[in-house]
């Protein structure tokens, strides 16, 4: 009974300890929610895929032998993903370290419990040996003064024997569990050591990538004159494209207003109020527009593979000092021959050539417009209805080996950041 009481007490103390640890973890999670192991594993696979994509894109740009901004962008993408890989490994190490500490704590408690059980068993055996020297079992039984005392002594001997058996069984059970926990602990420590070696390797890879980046920047710095001329050409092209898109949007606004006015006249009703800076929506286009807006952050990318090489807004030039460039959309660097897909159902409003952006395709989705530029060719024509993920063309590859899609989203005459509308990668 004493052994059972001590076991219950030990389990109670362990329970209280676990409750305290759980409450402490919950208090910590209120300020910072750690990622789950499944989430870390998923991110690891995604990061490895992104590195492979960046490697393929980088190899294509290297075929031209000369340093280019496309190569620099691919290296920067690899550095960005490499940092995420290292962060992911650190998070995995935190999980393993937590598991190791927890297992070590359990092992320590079990070892203490085992020592107590063995000590109690030794005391029991010692007491039994002393009794055996004075009496044997038969003498102990037949020395009873009455039949009732005989029965009580017999019951005592049986209980004593059962207690010894239970004690031995408990010792064996704890010993087996302890061996299993030690095996788990050794496996966890091995995983930790392996992961630490991987982390060291990935850190070396990161340093190597940063050296490549520095060398690439140094090579490009020697082409300062060419780069400045390229910046001027790019900014002029941005303004030209901006005017082209704005004109197409204004034409569609005017066209929709004319259609609404004509429809109202034919039906003998009051003309719908129109705006000079907003598309006049019919019930059908209003639903399309609402569905488009409701899917913000959930659109598939216009290309299956690639990375954002330049984001929306004003950015410092990656090589030239005190030089900034403006981007009204995002540039996605991808593989040569990559197909371009519509991100949502709509109507093709324009397919035209805008040097140096090559082929431009604009699709209307109610009051929203998506524009795809730097296409080598287009598979659609003006007025055609397209579905989500329908291929509309192929990305153009520059002479320096860079394959890059320029993508914009407008709501009427307002430019939007496309990155916030696409699925996060």
Whole-angstrom distance, CA of residue 272 vs CA of residue 280: 8
pLDDT of residue 7: 45
The answer to whether 116 and 171 are in contact (CB under 8 A) is no
The answer to whether 367 and 278 are in contact (CB under 8 A) is yes
Whole-angstrom distance, CA of residue 279 vs CA of residue 337: 35
pLDDT of residue 407: 97
pLDDT in tens, 203-238: 888 888 888 888 888 888 888 888 888 888 888 888
pLDDT of residue 164: 63
Query: Class for domain 34-221, per CATH?
Result: mainly alpha
- Cα 77 to the chain's mean position, in Å? 16
pLDDT of residue 195: 78
pLDDT of residue 362: 96
Question: What is the sign, positive or negative, of the torsion defined by CA atoms of 37, 40, 44, 46?
Answer: positive
Q: Which helix (H) or strand (E) holds 107?
A: helix 69-134
Q: Which helix (H) or strand (E) holds 29?
A: helix 2-31
pLDDT of residue 394: 97
pLDDT of residue 287: 93
Give me the CATH topology for the region 231-420. Glucose Permease (Domain IIA) (2.70.70)
Enumerate the domain spans of the chain. Answer: 1-33, 34-221, 231-420
pLDDT of residue 386: 97
CA nearest 326: which of 308, 336, 312, 340? Answer: 312
pLDDT of residue 19: 38
**Surface-to-core class of residue 245, CB atoms within 10 Å of its CB (0-12 exposed, 13-18 middle, 19+ buried):** buried
pLDDT beneath 50: ranges in the chain: 1-26, 28-31, 133-134, 271
Give Cβ neighbours of residue 120 (< 8 Å, ≥ 6 apart).
2, 3, 6, 167
pLDDT of residue 200: 81
- Cα 360 to the chain's mean position, in Å? 33
- Alpha helix positions (H), 135-266: 137-142, 147-221, 224-266
Whole-angstrom distance, CA of residue 25 vs CA of residue 30: 9
pLDDT of residue 18: 37
pLDDT of residue 303: 96
pLDDT in tens, 87-130: 888 888 887 787 778 777 777 776 776 677 677 666 656 655 55
**Hey, is 386 helix, strand or coil?**
strand
Give Cβ neighbours of residue 178 (< 8 Å, ≥ 6 apart).
107, 110, 111, 114
**Surface-to-core class of residue 4, CB atoms within 10 Å of its CB (0-12 exposed, 13-18 middle, 19+ buried):** exposed
Whole-angstrom distance, CA of residue 39 vs CA of residue 348: 39
């Amino acid at each position: 009974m004493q052994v059972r009481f001590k076991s219950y007490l030990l389990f109670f103390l362990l329970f209280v300890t676990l409750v305290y640890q759980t409450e402490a973890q919950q208090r910590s999670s209120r300020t910072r929610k750690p990622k789950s192991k499944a989430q870390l594993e998923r991110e690891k696979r995604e990061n490895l895929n992104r590195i492979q994509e960046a490697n393929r894109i980088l190899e294509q740009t290297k075929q031209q032998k000369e340093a280019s901004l496309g190569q620099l962008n691919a290296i920067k993408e690899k550095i960005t993903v490499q940092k995420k890989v290292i962060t992911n490994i650190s998070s995995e190490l935190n999980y393993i370290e937590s598991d190791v500490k927890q297992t070590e704590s359990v092992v320590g408690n079990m070892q203490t419990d085992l020592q107590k059980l063995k000590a109690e068993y030794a005391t029991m055996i010692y007491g039994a040996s002393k009794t055996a020297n004075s009496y044997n079992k038969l003498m102990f039984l037949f020395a009873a003064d009455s039949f009732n005392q005989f029965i009580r002594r017999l019951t005592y001997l049986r209980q004593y024997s059962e207690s010894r058996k239970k004690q031995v069984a408990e010792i064996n059970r704890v010993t087996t569990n302890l061996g299993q926990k030690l095996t788990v602990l050794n496996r966890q420590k091995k995983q930790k050591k392996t992961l630490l070696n991987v982390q060291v390797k990935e850190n070396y890879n990161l340093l190597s990538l940063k050296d490549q980046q520095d060398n690439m920047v140094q090579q490009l710095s020697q082409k300062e004159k060419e780069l400045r001329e390229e910046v001027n050409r790019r900014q002029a092209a941005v303004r030209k494209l901006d005017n082209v898109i704005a004109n197409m949007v204004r034409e569609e606004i005017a066209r929709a207003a004319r259609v609404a006015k004509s429809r109202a006249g034919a039906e003998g009703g009051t003309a719908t109020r129109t705006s000079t800076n907003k598309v006049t929506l019919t019930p059908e286009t209003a639903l399309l527009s609402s569905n488009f807006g409701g899917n913000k952050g959930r659109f598939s990318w216009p290309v299956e593979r690639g990375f954002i090489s330049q984001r929306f807004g004003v950015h410092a030039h990656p090589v030239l000092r005190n030089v900034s460039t403006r981007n009204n959309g995002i540039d996605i660097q991808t593989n040569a021959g990559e197909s371009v897909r519509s991100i949502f159902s709509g109507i093709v409003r324009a397919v035209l050539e805008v040097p140096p952006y090559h082929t431009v395709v604009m699709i209307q989705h109610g009051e929203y417009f998506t524009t795809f530029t730097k296409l080598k060719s287009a598979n659609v024509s003006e007025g055609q209805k397209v579905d989500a993920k329908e291929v509309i063309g192929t990305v153009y590859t520059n002479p320096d080996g860079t394959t890059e899609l320029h993508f914009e989203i407008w709501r009427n005459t307002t430019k939007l950041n496309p990155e916030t509308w696409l699925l996060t990668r």
